């Protein structure tokens, strides 16, 4: 079972559940932030997008202290797979489960548009359905999605293969023009050193049906669902 965490202010939570349940046929449930434990049959955790606690202090800052997050940390420490999308990525960075931080877009505006991202690393549990170099078309929608890692950390991430997705042109080339928010090294998604926690700013759950913006998001959510199924 996939636990989709619902904070006050989460707003892609139902869409995430829809993507897993209705499109991928995986079992997924909303888990309210006040729960201090994940359901016992949890095999994977998703922290969806939105504006948890209004993002009033910093994006994701207050959600890290919700009761459920202690359980999510324990789950991740035990090797359980955790995926954070957009605000979920911010929460995972704030809580220290992922390296780096997300800051205000360089253009200052909230941006909602489809972008291209290149898969840098193809591996379970997040990108097993794709190959390195594949280009996915997935939307972003955020005001504070500029990934920041200080230079030493960035080197570490590059060398450790922790950068999973980069903003790119439609042909896969990584350019400044393809970087929508000023992210360092065009980073759109990273994983933890151990590889079981990943965060990304683009919204794969908003690209799961051909008529609704294409289905490239299935590459990521499908990989995650596969991993969770095989863990049962």
Partner 1 sequence: MKALVYVTLKPDVLDPQGKAIVRASAQLGYDAVKAVRQGKLFELELDAADEAAARRLLDEFSDKLLANPVIEDYRVVTIEP
Partner 2 sequence: MSAAGGLREPRVDLALAHEHGLTTEEWGNVLEILGRTPTFSELGIFSVMWAEHCSYKSSKRYLKRLPTEGPQVIEGPGENAGVVDIGDGLAAVFKIESHNHPSFIEPRQGAATGVGGILRDIFTMGARPIASLDSLRFGPIEDPKHRYLLQGVVDGVGGYGNPVGVATVGGETQFHECYRGNILVNAFNCGVVEQDKIFLAKATGIGNPVIYVGSKTGRDGIHGASLLASAEFDEGSEAKRPTVQVGDPFTEKCLIEACLELMRTDAIVGIQDMGAAGLTCSSFEMASSGGTGIDLDLDLVPQREVGMTPYELLLSESQERMLLVARSGEEARVLEIFERWDLDAVVVGRVVEGGHMKVAWHGQTVVDIPVDPVAANSPELERQVVEPADLRERQKLDLAAVMPESDLGGALEALLDSPNLGSKEWVWRQYDQLVQGGTLIGPGGDAALVRVTREDGTPTDKALALSVDCNPRWCWLDPYQGAVAAVAEAARNVACTGAKPLALTNCLNFGNPEKPEIMWEFAEATRGLGDAARALDTPVVSGNVSFYNETSGRAIYPTPTVAVVGLLEPWQRHAVSHFTSVGRDVVLLGESREELGGSDWLALRRGLEAGLPPSVDLAHERALHALLAAGVAAGVIETAHDVSSGGLALALAEAALTGPEWIGAEIELDDPQRPDALLFGETTGRVVAAGAAAERLLDLAREHGVPARRIGRTGGDRLRIRPAAGEAWIDAALERLHHVWTNALPRRIGAAREE
- Round to whole Å and give the CA distance between 38 and 91: 17
CB of 148 to partner 1, least distance (A): 6
Residue 205 among the catalytic residues: yes
171 in Cβ contact with 150 (< 8 Å)? no
Is the bond into 53 cis (omega within 30 degrees of 0)?
no
Name the binder of 121 from partner 2, partner 1, none, CB < 5-8 A by kind: none
Q: Interface residues with partner 2 (CB under 8 A)?
A: 8-9, 11-12, 14-15, 17-19, 21-22, 32, 34, 50-51, 53-56, 106-107, 109-113, 139, 141, 143, 176-177, 179, 203, 205-206, 211-213
70-79 — which CB contacts under 8 Å span 24+ positions? 70/36, 71/35, 71/36, 71/37, 71/38, 72/5, 72/38, 72/45, 72/47, 72/97, 73/97, 75/38, 75/42, 75/45, 76/45, 76/192, 76/196, 76/197, 79/194, 79/196
Q: Is the dihedral of CA 56, 61, 65, 70 positive or negative?
A: positive
Separation of CA 220 from chain center: 9
Residue 203 among the catalytic residues: yes
| Catalytic choice (86, 93, 146, 168) | 86
Q: Is 198 left (phi over 0), alpha (psi -120 to 50) or beta?
A: beta
| Catalytic choice (116, 142, 203, 206) | 203
- Round to whole Å and give the CA distance between 60 and 79: 22
CB of 156 to partner 1, least distance (A): 14
Q: Interface residues with partner 1 (CB under 8 A)?
A: 57-58, 61-62, 65, 93-94, 100-101, 103-108, 146, 148, 150, 182
CB of 153 to partner 1, least distance (A): 9
| Catalytic choice (94, 120, 144, 205) | 205
Q: Which is nearer to partner 2, 46 or 157 (CB)?
A: 46
Name the binder of 58 from partner 2, partner 1, none, CB < 5-8 A by kind: partner 1
CB of 67 to partner 1, least distance (A): 16
Residue 86 among the catalytic residues: yes
Name the binder of 65 from partner 1, partner 2, none, CB < 5-8 A by kind: partner 1
The catalytic residue positions are: 86, 203, 205
């Amino acid at each position: 079972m996939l636990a989709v965490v619902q904070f006050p202010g989460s707003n892609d939570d139902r869409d995430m559940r829809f993507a897993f349940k209705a499109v991928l046929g995986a079992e997924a449930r909303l888990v309210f932030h006040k729960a201090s434990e994940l359901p016992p049959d949890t095999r994977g955790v998703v922290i969806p997008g939105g504006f948890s606690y209004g993002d009033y202090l910093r994006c994701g800052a207050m959600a890290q202290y919700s009761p459920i997050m202690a359980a999510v940390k324990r789950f991740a420490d035990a090797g359980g797979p955790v995926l954070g999308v957009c605000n979920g990525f911010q929460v995972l960075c704030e809580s220290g489960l992922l390296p780096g931080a997300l800051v205000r877009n360089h253009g200052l505006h909230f941006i909602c548009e489809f972008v291209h991202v290149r898969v840098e690393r193809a591996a379970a549990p997040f990108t097993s359905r794709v190959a390195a170099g594949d280009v996915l078309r997935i939307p972003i929608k955020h005001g504070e999605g500029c990934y920041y890692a200080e230079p030493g950390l960035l080197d570490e991430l590059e060398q450790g293969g922790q950068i999973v997705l980069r903003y790119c042109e439609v042909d896969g080339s990584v350019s400044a023009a393809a970087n929508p928010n000023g992210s360092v090294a065009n980073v759109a998604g990273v994983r933890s050193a151990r590889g079981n926690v990943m965060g990304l700013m683009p919204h794969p759950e908003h690209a799961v049906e051909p008529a609704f913006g294409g289905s490239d998001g299935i590459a990521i959510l499908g990989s995650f669902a596969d991993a969770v199924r095989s863990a049962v």
